[in-house]
Amino acid sequence: MPKQVIQPISLLKRNLKSKQQIFHVKSTPKILSKYKYKRKSSVDLQQQFTKSETTEIQAIEFEALPKTLQAYFKTSQMKNHIKPDRYASQEIPEFHHKEKPSSPQQQVKSTTEKVEDGTVYCICNRPYQQGEIMFKCEGFCGNWYHPNCINMQASETERQLNTNERWYCPECLQTAIEVMQDSNVVKESKRMRAN
């Protein structure tokens, strides 16, 4: 009796002429009838979803929401808001000769015409323009400022551009100093009571 040569399954697949199933040599397929599951027809599925009740959504006044939800919605709207990037503002601006407006009113009109979304920054209330250097306050306000508008010295401007040091506007710096002084007064009064 000649020995039967067992070929790999990949070779058997190539040699098949019809769509026969290939099983491992030592196993035989078994149909597990007790595990059969009758699938629902598409009509049954449609009926299942049409039977469900619909829920009615009502609008709520923004002021009626708790303050935490109001703050959440305000901040979620702000994340879509684009602010000027500190590093994008370091690009070298292209200088073009422009005629200076004869009056300040014409200058204000020209800057507001360029802005599409109406967002203004700094204490000068001008919009961000490509190539301008601006610094973001990392204090309480989080506003953007032109170095010239807050009388920042050239050495300070250069230092801020070349380092990743945190920068605070004069108002936030003053507020932080007042908070620290108030907390020191409270600490000293507690020490006095303890003695």
Residue 192, domain member (yes or no): yes
Residue 45, domain member (yes or no): no
Provide the number of structural domains found in the chain. Answer: 1
193 vs 47: CA distance, rounded Å: 75
Residue 154, domain member (yes or no): yes
At residue 138, the pLDDT reads 85
Residue 183, domain member (yes or no): yes
At residue 117, the pLDDT reads 55
Please report which confidence band the pLDDT of residue 59 belongs to, taking 50, 70 and 90 as the band edges. Answer: confident
| pLDDT at residue 112 tops 70 | no
Please report which confidence band the pLDDT of residue 171 belongs to, taking 50, 70 and 90 as the band edges. Answer: confident
| pLDDT at residue 103 tops 60 | no
- pTM assigned to the model: 0.35
Please report which confidence band the pLDDT of residue 84 belongs to, taking 50, 70 and 90 as the band edges. Answer: low
At residue 115, the pLDDT reads 45
Residue where the block lists tokens 């323009």: 129
Residue 152, domain member (yes or no): yes
Please report which confidence band the pLDDT of residue 18 belongs to, taking 50, 70 and 90 as the band edges. Answer: low
168 vs 19: CA distance, rounded Å: 75
At residue 113, the pLDDT reads 43
Give me the CATH number covering residue 188: 3.30.40.10
Stronger pLDDT, 7 or 172, i.e. the higher one: 172
Host domain of residue 142: 82-90+115-195
Rounded to 10 degrees, the C-alpha dihedral 111/94/168/143 comes to 30
Residue 124, domain member (yes or no): yes
Q: What string of H, E and C letters represents the secondary structure of 28-96?
A: CCCCCHHHCCCCCCHHHHHHHHHHCCCCCCCCCCHHHCCHHHHHHHHHHHHCCCCCCCCCHHHCCCCCC
Residue 167, domain member (yes or no): yes
